[in-house]
Each structure stands twice: as C-alpha cells, then as structure tokens.
Chains A and B, each alone.
Chain A
Amino acid sequence: MREIISIIKKDLRESILLNPLQLIIAFAIMIFIFYSLTNLNLLKSFPGIQKIFIVFETLPILILVSLNSLMEVFYKEKMKRGFEAIMATGVSIEKIWIGKSLAIAAPMYTIYLISFFTALLLRSSSFILKEPGLLVEAIIVVPFLAFSFILLIGISFMVSEKGRTIITGVFYFFFVLLFFSNFLMKKLALLLKTSQATFNLLIFLLATILIAVATVWIKNVDTEKIILGVE
C-alpha cells in the first residue's frame, strides 16, 4: 500500500500539480457540458433518453480530459524508461498500474464533481436533483465506467509499442462517440427501455467486467514488452 501511495503522490505532482493548465481546461469543458446536461427539457419529449444522455455526454468527456494525463503518466513514463527504474526497486507492475491509474482518476473525478455541482448551482433547478437514480448514474456509475477505461488504456500504453497509435485511436473513438451522440442516443433509447435502476446496474456491471478483464491482463502481462517495447 505504501508503494502505491508513493506512486500516486509522484504522478499527481508530476502530471497534475506541475501542469495545472490541463485541470483548468478540464474544468472549463466539464462545466460547459454539465450546464447543458442539467437542463434536459429539450429531451424530455423523447422517453428514456435522459439516462443514456448522461453516459454519452460524460463518459467521452471524462476520457478525453484524462487523455493528456494518461499520456504523461503511462506513455511518457515508458519512453523515459521510468517503469524499469520503479520495477528495479522491487515494486510489482500491478502496484505501478494501480497507483498511476488512481493518480489520473482522482483529480479528474474531483474536477468532475466540482464542475457538476457548480453547474447545478448555476441552474436554479435541475431534473437530475429530482431523480436520485440519474444523480447516482452521473456521479458514481459513469465515473466508475470511465475509471475502468482508464485502467484498460493504461495497460495498453504500458505493453504496446505503438503508443501514438493508441492515443490517436482513443481520441478519435471518444470524439466520434460524442459527435454522433444525438443520433446514437435516440437509437439506444428505443432499444434500452429499462428502468433507471436496471440501467445503472448494467453500466456498473459493464465497468466491473472491464476492470476484471484489465486485472487478468495485468496479471499476465509480459514485462519484457514494457521494458523493451520503447518506440
């Protein structure tokens, strides 16, 4: 645990505190998104779309604003041969991965919550506050799903020799998802006619499955790829 905390502290300092501009940009983007998210009158005419809207708007944003940190903490560390140095002190690759992922997720989640509640404050009333299920989805379930993606993207950076391709791929995937969200949401709203609670559970399960996949992947990862696979 001590080693994980040391890694979190180091990466928080290195990629976040000494590079605060990305936090300011993340806050600006999130507050803009949440301000529109907290007023969904325009979507109320389309049944069942609100819960999907939250996923489609917040998940890509959370990943896109975390991408710079992911690059700093995983990709650049690999290029600097930093993984090698940390592993040489006897720290396992699992601990490094967890520490680094938490160092990315924790500040982004904090900014997420601050901008979310700031947006709610700026609006005198919001439908989200009237529906606890949507609130749970927005502040717990979707960030948990985003964390599972961060864990997976982190390992991809660690093991892949094509770090730049991953950065580009992740960026375009979530950007396109955001761009076509209106179209996709309406299609999905018709397909997913579940209750809010079931929807939350499904998203939570999806995140849990992704974390399980990431855990199996890191346990079986070939450290040779991390050490020798420098571009």
Chain B
Amino acid sequence: MDKSIELDSVEKFYGDFHVLKGISFSIDKGSIFAYLGPNGAGKTTTIRILLGLLKPHSGNIRINASRKKIGFILENEDLSYRMDVENYLKFFAELYGVKWTKSIQLLESLELEGILKKPMSQLSKGLKKRVAFARALICEPEILFLDEPLEGFDPEWQVKFIEILKSLADKGTTVFITSHQLLYIERLATDFGIINNGRLLGQWKIKEVENLEKFYLEAIKNA
C-alpha cells in the first residue's frame, strides 16, 4: 500500500530538553492514524515537524503530498480576528491557491453559510473550531494534520466531525489526529500510535485492540 507519511528515527531537542527520541512510523494513504499520548509527550512537536514548521535535529521525514494539499488544525490557536468568517477563509483559499467558489459545498456541509458575515471574534469556541476545520478542508487535502480537533465541539458536532473525516478517508485523504478523547478515537481511527516522553511505544491497528482506553492506560503505565 502507498505510504502517505514516513518518519525514520526523528530526534528533536528544545535546548537541553530531548522532546522526540528516535520517532519512526509510517502511515498508509487513506488511513486515519490517531497519535495518542499524555500532555507533553511530543505530539504537537511531531505535528509541527510534519507540517514543516520545525526542523528535526536528525532523522528522515517523507510526506507524499504537495504542501498546498495539506490541511491542518493547530492546537491552542486563537481565531479572534476582527475580519468576518468569509474573508478569513478566502485568505487561506488564496494562500492555498484554490478558487473560493469551489468551497460553497464545504461551507454547507459544515453549516457555516449563515455565519459568513460574522466577525471571527464573536464566534463561540465550537464555531471557531468549525471554521478551523473548514480552513483545513479548503485545499481539498491529501493529508490532514489535526491537533486536538475535538476540543470545543459539542457531542453532536463531534459525531458529524467523525463522519466527515471517515468519508474523506474513504476518498483517499490520510488523517493524522491527536486527541485525548479515546472513545471517539476508537470509532474514528483505523490505526494508532502511542507516544510517551518523546518515545513511540508502538503502532497498532484499531481492530487489533478490544478496549482502546484500557490498552492505552496499560501501555503508558508499563512504559
């Protein structure tokens, strides 16, 4: 099967702090890979390296997609802009080099048509997250990097979000997601990896595991 993402022995330091200790994994095209781990384990650093925002100190990375075909949701991003939703999304459409008119269907699926003229700063946390999701999808991504995307969504939208991601994966989009919400991850992901203290404990198929939460807690405890 074609690989979308490959990491080989990736190391990263912040000063003296060893953040990533020889991370290696590969992700098949069209799969939904959940990258799990406690806070401070190195998940966000891995995503930043994969997005090309940070350089690893050593190791190899292979991303099988054009930079303009990679969508993302970043952790702790503050979308409190004065501009309205439409202008914000148009800005990213321009950066990606895609036509704004192509995004109408996307806005409908995320139920954003009604708030296009609303200033971003007036949106609730959940709506901001939906806008961030629209931004991630605007480039018709081949790969999606989603850092804690479920935070801020209400249960109804968490379910819709999962459905949208599954349908994207069916069409060939590779999804790389971090989350602490293991119940949703169990329903969404096809594969997962666990990282603890910068070390990858392993990579598994979701269907190999009976109870993800129990498996995760034991893996962290035994690490």
Q: In the assembled complex, how far is the CB of residue B87 from the closest CB belonging to chain A, in whole angstroms?
A: 6
Q: How many A-B residue pairs have CB under 8 A?
A: 67
Q: How many B residues face the partner with a CB closer than 8 A?
A: 29
A37 to chain B minimum Cβ distance, whole angstroms, is 33
Please report the C-alpha to C-alpha distance between residue A13 and residue B82 in the assembled complex, in whole angstroms: 9
Q: Would you call B91 and A81 a contact (CB within 8 A)?
A: no
Determine if B153 is an interface residue (Cβ-Cβ < 8 Å).
no
Q: What residues of chain B lie closer than 8 Å to A13, measured between beta carbons?
A: 83, 87
Q: Which 9 A-B pairs have CB atoms at the shortest separation, nearest pair first?
A: A90-B67, A6-B94, A80-B78, A18-B82, A89-B95, A10-B91, A88-B51, A81-B77, A88-B72
Identify 17 new A-B residue pairs, CB closer than 8 A, beyond the known A10-B83, A14-B83, A89-B95: A2-B97, A3-B94, A10-B91, A13-B83, A14-B81, A14-B82, A18-B82, A80-B77, A80-B78, A80-B80, A85-B72, A85-B92, A86-B95, A89-B96, A224-B55, A227-B53, A227-B54
CB contact list, B70-95 vs A, under 8 A: 70, 72, 74, 76-83, 87, 91-92, 94-95
- Interface pair B53/A90, CB less than 8 Å apart: no
Which chain A residue has the least Cβ–Cβ distance from B120?
A14
* A122: Cβ under 8 A from any B Cβ: no
Bound Cα distance from A14 to B51, whole angstroms = 26
A81 and B87 contact, Cβ closer than 8 Å, known pairs A14-B82, A224-B54: no
In the complex, A19 has a CB within 8 A of chain B: yes
| Per-position 1/0 for A2-34, Cβ under 8 A of B | 110010011001100011000000000000000
Whether the pair A81, B68 counts as a contact (CB closer than 8 A) is no
Of the residues A6, A10, A14, A84, contact of B74 by C-beta under 8 Å: A84
What are 29 contact pairs spanning A and B, CB under 8 A?
A3-B94, A6-B91, A9-B91, A10-B83, A13-B83, A13-B87, A14-B81, A14-B82, A14-B83, A80-B78, A80-B79, A80-B80, A81-B74, A81-B77, A82-B77, A84-B77, A85-B72, A85-B77, A88-B51, A88-B52, A88-B72, A88-B74, A89-B92, A89-B139, A90-B67, A223-B53, A224-B55, A227-B54, A228-B14
Q: Does A79 contact B (CB under 8 A)?
A: yes
Complex formed: what's the CA distance from A84 to B139 in Å? Answer: 17
**Cα distance A230–B65 when bound, in Å?**
30
| A197 close to B (CB within 8 Å) | no
Chain A residues whose CB sits within 8 angstroms of the CB of B79 once the complex forms: 80
Quote the shortest CB–CB distance from A106 to chain B (angstroms). Answer: 17
B residues near A82, Cβ cutoff 8 Å: 77
Chain B residue nearest in CB terms to A222 = B55
Q: How large is the interface on A (under 10, 10 to 19, 20 to 34, 35 or more residues)?
A: 20 to 34
Closest to A223 in B: B53
A91 within 8 A of B: yes
Among B48, B91, B92, the residue within 8 A (CB) of A227 is B48
B72 to chain A, nearest CB (A): 5
Distance in Å: Cβ of B165 to nearest Cβ of chain A: 19
Assembly CA distance A89 to B52 (angstroms): 10
Whether the Cβ atoms of B78 and A81 lie closer than 8 Å is yes
Instruction: Give every chain B residue within 8 A of A89 (Cβ-Cβ).
Output: 67-68, 92, 95-96, 139
Chain B residues closer than 8 Å to A6, beta-carbon distance: 91, 94-95
B219 CB to closest chain A CB (Å) equals 28
Per-residue CB contact flags for chain B residues 48-63 toward chain A (1 = under 8 Å, else 0) read: 1001111100000000
Across the interface, which residues of B come within 8 angstroms of A14, CB to CB? Answer: 81-83
